[in-house]
């Protein structure tokens, strides 16, 4: 259990975070082996630059999408993947990410919303960040080193996920995707230009969808 301050700052509610650590390897393998890898959409594709639709049907089609997302993520050697990164206009992301203590987290979140952090928890980390939709490019980006994202699981149950360090960055990055933001949208014009130059000069190591 964890204490979370509400938006008014004068009331506390208990939050039970999901266990996304137990059997992480087996769960990721099961998702991935059921799925089919799809190519990754890259910056410039319209689906990446608009807010996605809410998930409203928690059915076999959603489960198949998540399987495909895990397969695609593994092919691209990523730690997180949003549905619009394989061209699907739905608010769902998957992750297979280590935190800064070397603990592996595996899961999926539908309709994610990040908590507003109290000032005391907003300790910024300016580590490098990259994105499968901006292949081969990296830039420093300051983000809080702690994050809580709330949403639903594949059955529609309410869930909350807590992350620290690198995993916190992953949760923020993937939630951003589903609201139409890439990490490069948070960079200065100069840094964004440098990232796009890095991308243009490289060759993706995984299949991508070419923009028209």
DSSP state letters, the chain: -EEEE-TTSS-EEEEPPP--STTHHHHHHHHHHHS---PEE-TT-GGGGSPPBPP---SHHHHHHHHHHHHHHHHTT-SEEEGGGGT--BSEEEEEEE-TTS-EEEEEEEEEEEPPPPGGG--EE--EEEETTEEEEEEE--EESEEEEEEE-TTS-EEEEEEEHHHHHHHHHHHHHHTT--GGGGS-HHHHHHHHHHHHHS--SS-EEPP-
> Do the beta carbons of residue 104 and residue 165 sit within 8 Å?
no
Structure tokens belonging to residue 53: 């639709």
Q: pLDDT by residue for the chain (212 residues), tens digit each?
A: 122 333 344 334 456 899 999 999 999 999 999 999 999 999 999 999 999 999 999 999 999 999 999 999 999 999 999 999 999 999 999 999 999 899 999 999 999 999 999 888 889 999 999 999 999 999 999 999 999 999 999 999 999 999 999 999 999 999 999 999 999 999 999 999 999 999 999 999 999 998 87
Q: For residue 197, count other CB atoms closer than 10 A to its CB.
A: 11
Burial of 78 (0-12, 13-18, 19+ CB in 10 A): buried
Taking the complete model, does pTM exceed 0.85, yes or no?
Answer: yes
Domains and CATH numbers, the chain: 16-205 (3.90.45.10)
The residues annotated as belonging to the active site are 174
In this structure, are residues 86 and 60 in contact, taking their beta carbons and an 8 Å threshold? Answer: no
Q: How far apart are the C-alpha atoms of 117 and 156, rounded to whole Å?
A: 25
Query: In the chain, which residue ranges form alpha helices assigned H by DSSP?
Result: 24-34, 60-75, 165-178, 189-201
Question: What pLDDT is recorded for position 11?
Answer: 39
pLDDT for 15: 63
Strands 80-82 and 143-144 turn out to be unpaired
Distance of CA 49 to the CA centre of its chain: 15
């Amino acid at each position: 259990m964890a204490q979370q301050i509400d938006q008014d700052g004068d009331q506390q509610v208990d939050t039970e975070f999901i266990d996304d650590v137990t059997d992480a390897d087996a769960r990721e393998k099961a998702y991935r082996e059921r799925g089919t890898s799809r190519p990754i959409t890259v910056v410039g594709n319209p689906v990446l630059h608009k807010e996605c639709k809410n998930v409203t049907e928690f059915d076999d089609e959603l489960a198949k999408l998540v399987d495909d997302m895990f397969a695609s993520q593994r092919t691209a050697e990523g730690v997180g993947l949003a549905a619009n990164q394989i061209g699907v206009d739905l608010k769902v992301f998957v992750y297979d990410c280590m935190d800064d203590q070397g603990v592996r987290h595996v899961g999926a979140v539908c309709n994610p919303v990040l908590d507003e952090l109290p000032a005391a928890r907003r300790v910024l980390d300016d580590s490098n960040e990259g994105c499968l939709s901006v292949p081969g490019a990296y830039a420093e980006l300051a983000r809080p080193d702690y994050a809580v994202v709330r949403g639903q699981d594949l059955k529609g149950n309410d869930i909350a996920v807590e992350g620290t360090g690198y995993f916190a960055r992953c949760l923020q990055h993937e939630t951003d995707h589903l609201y139409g933001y890439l990490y490069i949208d948070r960079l200065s014009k100069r840094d964004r230009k440098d990232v796009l130059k890095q991308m243009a000069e490289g060759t993706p190591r995984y299949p991508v969808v070419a923009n028209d």
